[in-house]
């Protein structure tokens, strides 16, 4: 969802500068398609890592409560 919003509001956010002419702080991407593909591939990994971190922290909290109760 966030990637879709970034794509929809790319002009307002200032992220539509991958195509020539380039700004002074140009990234390694050759065009918008390459940049979009990179974000699309990495986005699930970000959420997977976030989910694992959330589950780990929740498991720790539950185990602490169980340990204090018994």
Cα(47)–Cα(66) distance, integer angstroms? 28
Give residues with Cβ within 8 angstroms of 39, minimum separation 6.
3, 6
pTM over 0.75: no
Give the tokens for residue 37. 């593909």
Give the tokens for residue 69. 């109760």
pLDDT tens, residue by residue, 5-56: 888 888 888 877 666 666 666 667 777 788 889 889 999 999 999 999 999 9
């Amino acid at each position: 969802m966030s990637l879709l919003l970034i794509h929809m509001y790319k002009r307002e956010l200032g992220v539509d500068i991958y195509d020539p002419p380039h700004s002074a702080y140009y990234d390694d991407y050759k065009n918008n398609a390459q940049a979009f593909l990179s974000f699309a591939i990495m986005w699930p990994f970000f959420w997977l890592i976030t989910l694992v971190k959330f589950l780990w922290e929740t498991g720790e909290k539950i185990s602490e409560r169980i340990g204090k109760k018994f």
